[in-house]
Structure 1
Amino acid sequence: MNPDDVAAYALGLPEVSEEEPWGPHRPVYKVGGKIFATLAAANTSQPDRLSVKCESTLALHLYDQYPAVRPGYGYQGPHWHWITVHLDGTVPDQELAEMITHSWQCVVDGLPRTARDRLRRLHRDQAQPPAQSWADGP
């Protein structure tokens, strides 16, 4: 995934907004007013980077599995970490999509119950393929 693909995927999740509070080329993606992903443009020393929330045990597994996944800037607590992924092509697109979705779910899990339940329902409905009608045939 490149940064445009990451942005499109993140914005495709329910009720996600994009802002640039830290200036141009530093978009953040929020759900329920809380950040779940950030992008940083490439510079002379690093490729484009994606930072997402991740459960601690999963983060440790990802560090071992992909050299492009490193501890991110921010809270590193007992339940979740921020991880930073260098978008250098070494992490499969499907894995990046799962990381983004996982981060979105981590944030949604911390929202008030009514918002959490509504967003989970929207995500579940979005993820399920539409039912085939009898008129469509087998």
Structure 2
Amino acid sequence: MRLTAGELLEHCLAKPGAWQDEPWEGDVVAKVGDKIFAFLGSGAAVGVKCGGNRDEADELVNTYPDDVWKSPYIGRSGWNTVRLGASVPDEELLELVDTSYETIVAKLPKAKRP
């Protein structure tokens, strides 16, 4: 059984301080504080922070070239888009979301961290 977009959103929102937003019509995101940690969009893929820079994020792209790609506009900062229900195992996808959340929380000012 593959992880659905709804289940992935539930996983995101179960994180301390996480909340759902729709900054662009039809594009759901998960935020902590005022920062996005997961772009859920239409539900076919998720955008997550996969490293501090492009080289780190490219490791995942190289591992799953058909199902992970550099996110438009923000990819240079280490963001990738991961196709749901494809070659990336669900467990790894959840770990990617967890790591993205932790990375974003660590960048928040201490007063805004959950």
**TM-score interval w.r.t. the shorter chain?**
0.7 to 0.9
Q: Is the 8 A contact 2:64 2:88 kept in 1?
A: yes
TM-fit CA distance, 1:113: 2.4
Report how far residue 114 of structure 1 moved.
Answer: 3.8
RMSD (Å) for aligned C-alpha atoms: 1.7
Q: Deviations over 1:39-73 (max 9, x none)?
A: 1226xxxxx01001121343111011112110002
Identity %: 34
The TM-score with structure 1 as length reference comes to 0.71
Per-residue CA distance 1:102-121 (angstroms, 9 max, x = gap) = 111111111112444xx3xx
In terms of Rg, which structure is larger?
1
Which residue matches 1:134? none
2:107 and 2:63 mapped to 1: Cα distance?
27
Deviates more, 1:89-98 or 1:57-66: 57-66
Q: How many residue pairs were aligned? A: 109
Q: Which runs of 5+ in 2 are unaligned?
A: none
Structure 1 unaligned blocks of 5 or more: 43-47, 120-138
Runs of 4+ in 1 over 2 A off after TM superposition: 74-77, 113-116
| Native 8 Å contact 1:74 1:82 kept in 2 | no
Q: Does 1:83 align with 2:84?
A: no
Distance in 2 (alpha carbons) for counterparts of 1:36 and 1:51: 8
What is the distance in 1 between the residues matched to 2:34 and 2:16?
Answer: 13
Task: Tell me whether 1:53 sits opposite 2:49 in the alignment.
Answer: yes
Find the counterpart in structure 1 of residue 73 from structure 2: 74
1: CA distance, partners of 2:75 / 2:97: 18
Return the match for 2:16 from 14, 17, 27: 14
Which structure has more RCO (C-alpha within 8 Å, separation ≥ 6)?
2
CA distance in 1, matches of 2:56, 2:30: 21
Cα deviation, residue 76, structure 1: 3.8
CA distance in 1, matches of 2:56, 2:96: 10
Secondary structure at the aligned position of 1:4 is classed as helix
